[in-house]
Chain A
Amino acid sequence: MNLATAIQARDADALPGRRDEDWRWTDIRGLIRTVPEPSAPLAPAAAGAGPFAGLATHTVLIGNGHGEAAIEIADDQVVALDVVSQGDGSHAASVWINVPAGANATLLESYRGQGSYLAHTALSIRLGEGARLERIVLADEDAEGVAVSQAEVDLAAKSEFVQTTLAGGARRQRLETRVRHPGGHAQLRLDGVYLLAGKRHADLTTAVTHAAVDGLTDQLTKGVVRDQARGVFQGRIVVAEGADHTEAKMGHHALILSDKAEVDAKPELEIYADDVSCAHGNTVGALDEEALFYIRQRGVPEAEARALLTTAFVGEVIERIAHEGAREIAREWAAERLKG
């Protein structure tokens, strides 16, 4: 059930699938009978420019699994990590990212591809004491691609990690973030947006473990699915014994715009500590028809009125992005997907 190992060994039986509790809505094993041949290396020139190219002080390209594996992000740096998949092969990459103590940095991560590839990216992100990292993930895979990204994030005391994941789906797409939260005034914001059409599938899975006192987690994910698309949200927050005074908030809200679209959500809070403040909210519904009529009565055509409502719905998440340039790109990305 380890995707990287399965790709390296070309062992389809080792792919994660519905029998794994954590993968029951994103069944890779049931989808792929044979792990494809390893992908050919990708020349940087063939990759083209990523969506964040103009915003970064430093750009790292991972092309078909090959590229710089260890990245140190210094204070004030904006690093673009551009993960590109091309062709119908399979590939896996591992990336280590370190933000030293006290540094304030930005990671603009993008996924894009062309073909019916099988891709895996493992990230290991470490924040030193008092460090701050904003990570924005824009994942625009091919409709035929299968892509999984798994990030392990380790926070030191007093560090701050804020993340926004923007998922456009793929044949199967999973963006997973696991955060070990040391408490001790460390802060975490974990946001997500998925906008899916056609037969696309996106899975946003997060797991946060609060290990000690005085930690803060704020999580908000919103999705809009239409056609026969499927969105999956799995969010788990564990507050371990002794992690007193933890504050954790989790929200997941989705709009389903057609009868054949589907959203599966599993929010979980496991609390073993005392004196904690934890809350979660989960709603899945249709667009408000009364609001739609109200907007149309003011002269706005139906498609535009729908776009206005859905854009406002996900806007709440996008407006929380601190990096101004990335926020603008996120807005454009959402507008493009939600236009009538």
Chain B
Amino acid sequence: MLKIQDLHAAVAGKAILKGLSLEVPKGEVHAIMGPNGAGKSTLSYVLTGREGYEVPQGSAVLDGEDLLALEPNARAARGVFLSFQYPLEIPGVPALTFIRTALNAQRKARGEPEVTAPQFLKLVREKSAALKIDFEMLKRGLNVGFSGGEKKRMEILQMAVLEPRLLILDETDSGLDIDALRIVSEGVNAMRSPERSMLVITHYQRLLDYIKPDRVHVLSAGRIVASGGPELALELEREGYDRYARAA
């Protein structure tokens, strides 16, 4: 389970997170909703260890282990996966090579044997078919020339192969048409498991029609200002964030 306590974070001296506390038990899907500038992306970057974010106070612990003390790759090896709002293009590195390099690096860090080429290809063929990804596309440079929908499906494919314990989806619905949204959501729902926690970060309620959360939290001005069941998302959709902006 993920346990965040009194988390503060700043970028270039400007405070963004101001005492955020949150618990996501194993097997649950929690949504974080909030207006632009509330600190949603900052939360995902602080949890994954991106440079440039100072954390003067607070903690983030995954299954008893202090995440903030670890390098980004060490966090990934312990099961933290971020689906990027804007996945990067990596020219010259075929998607297949990239995913295999990542998988074997994680396995090595955990003291597990590397996957063999046939095992890996079998695994990727299976997972990419489920996401309706053309296998030929995986031989091209990662995300180079891919549409927004294809990039998001590539994120979900990586997630399915790497099998993380904590899955963070940062605005996964942005830039998706309704068909792509359905495929991506099915991919995410297939990952739901009693062993896995998910944090779904979104501005709009739409994504939550497809990925049903157990809990919804409202993030405003760097703090969780309200928490509730799925009905909270619908209320936000109807009434907007104004009320919570004032509460913050």
Chain A interfacial positions (CB closer than 8 Å to B): 288-291, 293-302, 304-305, 308-309, 311-313, 315-316
Q: Given A302, A305, A315, which contacts B92 in the complex, CB threshold below 8 Å?
A: A315
Question: Which A residues are CB-close (under 8 A) to B90?
Answer: 291, 294-295, 308-309, 312
**Distance from B164 Cβ to chain A, minimum over Cβ atoms (Å):** 10
Pair B92/A301 contact, Cβ less than 8 Å: no
Contact with A along B100-135 (1 / 0, CB 8 A): 011101100100000000000000000000000000
Question: Which B residues are CB-close (under 8 A) to A302?
Answer: 71, 73
Q: How far is the CA of A309 from the CA of B92 in the complex (A)?
A: 8
Quick one: given A289-B51, A316-B92, are A298 and B87 in contact (CB under 8 Å)? Answer: no
B77 beta carbon closer than 8 Å to chain A: yes
Pair A294/B87 contact, Cβ less than 8 Å: yes
**Distance from A90 Cβ to chain B, minimum over Cβ atoms (Å):** 41
B50 beta carbon closer than 8 Å to chain A: yes
Quick one: given A293-B51, A309-B90, are A299 and B84 in contact (CB under 8 Å)? Answer: no
Question: Which 4 A-B residue pairings sit nearest by Cβ, starting from the closest?
Answer: A312-B92, A298-B102, A299-B76, A299-B106
B-side interface residues, number (CB < 8 Å): 30
Question: Which B residues are CB-close (under 8 A) to A311?
Answer: 92
Pair B158/A290 contact, Cβ less than 8 Å: no
B93 beta carbon closer than 8 Å to chain A: yes
Q: How far is the CA of A19 from the CA of B58 in the complex (A)?
A: 61
Question: Which A residues are CB-close (under 8 A) to B141?
Answer: 312
**Distance from A224 Cβ to chain B, minimum over Cβ atoms (Å):** 13
Given contacts A293-B72, A308-B101, 12 further A-B contacts (CB under 8 A): A291-B88, A294-B84, A294-B88, A296-B49, A297-B50, A299-B102, A299-B109, A301-B73, A304-B101, A312-B90, A312-B92, A316-B91
**Distance from A290 Cβ to chain B, minimum over Cβ atoms (Å):** 6
Q: How far is the CA of A299 from the CA of B78 in the complex (A)?
A: 9
Quick one: given A312-B91, A313-B92, are A304 and B82 in contact (CB under 8 Å)? Answer: no
Specify which of A293, A304, A308 lies most central, judged by the most chain B CB atoms within 10 Å of its CB. A293
Q: How far is the CA of A302 from the CA of B70 in the complex (A)?
A: 13
Q: How far is the CA of A295 from the CA of B95 in the complex (A)?
A: 12
Would you call the interface of chain A mostly helix, strand, loop, or mixed? helix
Q: How far is the CA of A297 from the CA of B77 in the complex (A)?
A: 9
Pair B73/A300 contact, Cβ less than 8 Å: yes
Question: Which A residues are CB-close (under 8 A) to B72?
Answer: 293, 296-297
B33 beta carbon closer than 8 Å to chain A: no
Quick one: given A293-B50, A294-B87, are A300 and B92 in contact (CB under 8 Å)? Answer: no
Pair B105/A300 contact, Cβ less than 8 Å: yes
Q: How far is the CA of A28 from the CA of B232 in the complex (A)?
A: 74
Q: How far is the CA of A237 from the CA of B93 in the complex (A)?
A: 31
Question: Which A residues are CB-close (under 8 A) to B158?
Answer: 298
**Distance from B115 Cβ to chain A, minimum over Cβ atoms (Å):** 13
Nearest B residue to A312 by beta-carbon distance? Answer: B92
**Distance from B137 Cβ to chain A, minimum over Cβ atoms (Å):** 17
Q: Given A290, A304, A308, A316, which contacts B88 in the complex, CB threshold below 8 Å?
A: A290
Nearest A residue to B143 by beta-carbon distance? Answer: A294
Pair B105/A297 contact, Cβ less than 8 Å: no
B202 beta carbon closer than 8 Å to chain A: no
Pair A304/B105 contact, Cβ less than 8 Å: yes
Question: Which A residues are CB-close (under 8 A) to B76?
Answer: 296-299
Pair B71/A296 contact, Cβ less than 8 Å: yes
19 contacts between A and B (CB under 8 A): A289-B51, A291-B88, A293-B50, A294-B84, A295-B98, A296-B71, A297-B48, A297-B50, A297-B84, A298-B76, A299-B73, A299-B76, A299-B103, A300-B73, A300-B101, A300-B102, A301-B73, A308-B90, A308-B98
**Distance from A301 Cβ to chain B, minimum over Cβ atoms (Å):** 5
Q: How far is the CA of A323 from the CA of B174 in the complex (A)?
A: 45
Question: Which B residues are CB-close (under 8 A) to A300?
Answer: 73, 101-102, 105
Q: How far is the CA of A103 from the CA of B138 in the complex (A)?
A: 39
Specify which of B89, B102, B103, B158 lies most central, judged by the most chain A CB atoms within 10 Å of its CB. B102
Specify which of A296, A298, A299, A315 lies most central, judged by the most chain B CB atoms within 10 Å of its CB. A299
Q: How far is the CA of A315 from the CA of B93 in the complex (A)?
A: 9
**Distance from A326 Cβ to chain B, minimum over Cβ atoms (Å):** 19
Q: How far is the CA of A309 from the CA of B103 in the complex (A)?
A: 17
**Distance from B180 Cβ to chain A, minimum over Cβ atoms (Å):** 21
Contact with A along B28-47 (1 / 0, CB 8 A): 00000000000000000000
Q: Given B50, B87, B91, B105, which contacts A299 in the complex, CB threshold below 8 Å?
A: B105
**Distance from B143 Cβ to chain A, minimum over Cβ atoms (Å):** 10
Question: Which B residues are CB-close (under 8 A) to A313?
Answer: 92
B162 beta carbon closer than 8 Å to chain A: yes
Q: How far is the CA of A304 from the CA of B162 in the complex (A)?
A: 18
